[in-house]
Amino acid sequence: MQLKQIKIGKLHTKNNIFLAPLAGYTNSPFRDMCYQFGAGLTFTEMVSAKGLCYGSEKTKELLHVSEDYDGIKACQIFGNDPYYMRKACESEALAPFDLIDINMGCPVPKIYKNGEGSALLNDFDLAAKIIKECKKSGKNISVKFRIGLDGSHLVSGDFAKLCEDAGADMISVHGRTRDKIYAGEVNFAAIAEAKKAVKIPVIANGGIFCKADAEELFNKTGADGVMVARGAMYRPWIFAEITGFEADKKRAVREQLKKTRDIYGEKFACVYMRKMVGFYLKGTPNAAELRAKLFKANTTEEVEEILNGLSF
């Protein structure tokens, strides 16, 4: 596939292979690692706009950026109130961020029932108002959405045009409907419809677990770039494979462990890194046995000791 920069408003990415926002996973050390492996753009976990406006400390923790991170700083926010969405974009907490992504695709019932995430596909007028208000903040704005709520209500082309007309600088399209959650085949044609409908950059998302998947998604949709989600959870070095970067996997994971401990503390780092290293073991010899050993670790030192004996 063709690697190229993407122009997002006033910004230029280093390439067109992006890391998607992943709730519970794309914290600062994980984003750093994916960026080092070659990701052209990385996003924070989705953050509540109202949580930011009300000064939630837990919400602010999601926004940590490492001092040595020199890429574009991108945050994803969610909500359904145009006032609070704009206020969040203008907040001190988001001042360090160059790009704000609006979540209009989350399928999780709790978010959907609250009228947020993919529920906004039900209300084009409200979705447009949110984008317009966020643009008034002066930030570069992107929107991530799904192709529809179900197979009988595909809206990718129309919703893409709505986003562009409202002022979005880029869109990312997840090629599944809301009812599919994260299962089922990616609808390449629906993403292609979005691409045909607009002139702003279109990033295709869904089903990338290897380089061949990325190439297929890119070629069959005509998108300007692709976005890796769950595939990066299991193999963050997928970015190196797609872009041709050299990757020292074990060194990178050790650095992830150290940064996670330094930023979030011993207890969180131990639990989180047990889970992450367990993911990275997928497909390796004796993975089940190694995971069992890993989950008995009570300190990050024990996790690191196990890590040192692994071969990814």
Both ends of the chain: CA-CA distance in Å? 25
CA 224 to CA 195: how far, in whole Å? Answer: 8
Is residue 90 within 8 A of residue 49, CB to CB? The reply is no
- Helix (H, G, I), strand (E, B), or coil: what is residue 174? strand
CA 256 to CA 264: how far, in whole Å? Answer: 12
Element (H, E) at 300: helix 300-308
Give the residue from 85, 80, 104, 88 showing the smallest Cα distance to 21.
104
Cα 47 → chain centroid: 12
CA 15 to CA 225: how far, in whole Å? Answer: 8
CA 73 to CA 78: how far, in whole Å? Answer: 17
Q: Which of 34, 53, 106, 134 is catalytic?
A: 106
Q: Is 106 a catalytic residue?
A: yes
Q: Give residue for tokens 């990275």.
A: 280
Beta strands in 62-139 (DSSP E): 73-78, 99-104
**What positions carry a catalytic annotation?**
106
